[in-house]
Amino acid sequence: MTAHLFSPLTQRSLTFRNRVVMAPMCQYSAVDGVATDWHLAHLGSRAAGGVGAIIAEASAVLPNGRISPADLGLWDDKHIEPLRRAFAFVASQGCVPGIQLAHAGRKASTLAPWLGGTPVGGAQGGWDDIVAPSALPFAANHATPHELDEAGIATVIEAFAAAARRAHAAGAQLVEVHAAHGYLVHQFLSPLTNRRTDRWGGSFENRTRLAREVTAAVRKAWPDSLPLWVRISATDWVDGGWNEDESVELSRELAKLGCDVVDVSTGGTVPDAKVPVAPGFQVRFAEKIRREAGVPTGAVGLITEPAQADAVVREGRADAVLLGRVLLREPQWAIHAARSLDQPAPIPNQYLRGF
Ligand SMILES: Cc1cc2nc3c(=O)[nH]c(=O)nc-3n(C[C@H](O)[C@H](O)[C@H](O)COP(=O)(O)O)c2cc1C
């Protein structure tokens, strides 16, 4: 039988009720990395809205890896309990609770978008300890990062593993390593941001070392019975940057390390890339990686229509579809999509009289 958007997806010991996944989306609503009632309501309403899995926003594995002071974190045990409440509710709705593990590298310490999104230093409520593979600022108004040394890189890898253990303690059933969008792991992948001459830079093998070591460390810290996904940017959209063929090659390596899905986004490395944004514009990369690397993929990016999302799965272009902004507008997108595609709709009992 051909898989479709509302076919279950089995990953290790877990079965997702459908292939609609809420994409990770920063909410800038945590306090010192700790989840608030906003997260319970935000994640909970999409779980009650029928999605098969939710990947909670980029959660910093170290405090200096936050994009903003209000990012979620997983660098301390105090982060576990409030997340546990949100994840327990998500799971109670038949939805797989997941979370993205992240380090922002040179893009750290900025204000929330609605406060301007601008970089801030320690004196303005951010911090000054900004790190990256090389001492190259993201943009003229960003701080010049410190180049990580061997000990600093080891600390980052261990922090990803420790964060995965805390995510599990909080009840997450899916973790995603954030290796996309120009954040720290991607900064090591891309020749635009990695100018190192040691074993962490230069060749493909060296530039991908951090992505591979983080994935291996998280896999070891995370139960074998549960899925691990990795989000990558398939291209920097810049000549001489990270590209789609390297992404295929990296995906093969990630699969060998126990990555269950490569979640395929693009861009984010440099501010001036020309990105040809259009409906479903990144799906072709998910398709290429799935075909050429033989790895399950997730497709994301301006997928907004039920028939469009269903076709991505039916045509074998990806195994799951991640939705971002449309789920901010329409928390019950999955219920409406199931109805429009003549599939059984995942409507909570409490809401049956509304449909
Ligand atoms: C408010 C907001 C926050 C986001 N935060 C994250 C994040 O934490 N991690 C991530 O990988 N992508 C993040 N993204 C990107 C989304 O996951 C998604 O890839 C992107 O929005 C494209 O999908 P869409 O067209 O369905 O929105 C964010 C997007 C938005 C709109």
Sign of the C-alpha dihedral computed for residues 281, 283, 285 and 291 taken in this order:
negative
Ligand 1 contact, 324 CB (< 6 A) = yes
Atom 5 of ligand 1, nearest CA residue: 25
**Pocket probe mutation, ligand 1, options 21, 22, 25, 323, max atoms within 8 Å of Cβ:** 25
Tens digits of residue pLDDT in 298-330: 999 999 999 999 999 999 999 999 999 999 999
Tens digits of residue pLDDT in 265-300: 999 999 999 999 999 999 999 999 999 999 999 999
Ligand 1 contact, 23 CB (< 6 A) = yes
Helix (H, G, I), strand (E, B) or coil at 312: helix
What confidence tier does 45 reach under pLDDT thresholds 50, 70, 90?
very high
- What residues pair up with 15 in beta bridges, in sequence order? 10
Q: What is the 17 CA–ligand 1 centroid distance (Å)?
A: 22
Atom 28 of ligand 1, nearest CA residue: 25
Residue 1 has pLDDT above 90, yes or no: no
Q: What is the 23 CA–ligand 1 centroid distance (Å)?
A: 6
CA distance 123 to 187: 26
DSSP string, 256-279: HTT--EEEEE---SSTT------T
Atom 3 of ligand 1, nearest CA residue: 25
Ligand 1 contact, 57 CB (< 6 A) = yes
Ligand 1 contact, 323 CB (< 6 A) = yes
CA distance 71 to 353: 37
**Pocket probe mutation, ligand 1, options 20, 26, 74, max atoms within 8 Å of Cβ:** 26
Tens digits of residue pLDDT in 139-175: 999 999 999 999 999 999 999 999 999 999 999 999 9
Tens digits of residue pLDDT in 60-116: 999 999 999 999 999 999 999 999 999 999 999 999 999 999 999 999 999 999 999
Q: What is the 11 CA–ligand 1 centroid distance (Å)?
A: 23
DSSP summary character for residue 328 = H
CA distance 168 to 290: 28
Tens digits of residue pLDDT in 219-259: 999 999 999 999 999 999 999 999 999 999 999 999 999 99
Q: Which residues are catalytic?
A: 183
Tens digits of residue pLDDT in 180-216: 999 999 999 999 999 999 999 999 999 999 999 999 9
Ligand 1 contact, 103 CB (< 6 A) = no
Q: What's the pLDDT at 151?
A: 98
Q: What is the 149 CA–ligand 1 centroid distance (Å)?
A: 30
Asked if 133 contacts 147 with a C-beta cutoff of 8 angstroms, the reply is yes
Which helix (H) or strand (E) segment holds residue 327: the answer is: helix 325-329
Q: Which domains does the chain have, with CATH numbers?
A: 9-354 (3.20.20.70)
DSSP string, 120-162: --GGGTS-S--EESSS--SSTTSPPPEEP-HHHHHHHHHHHHH
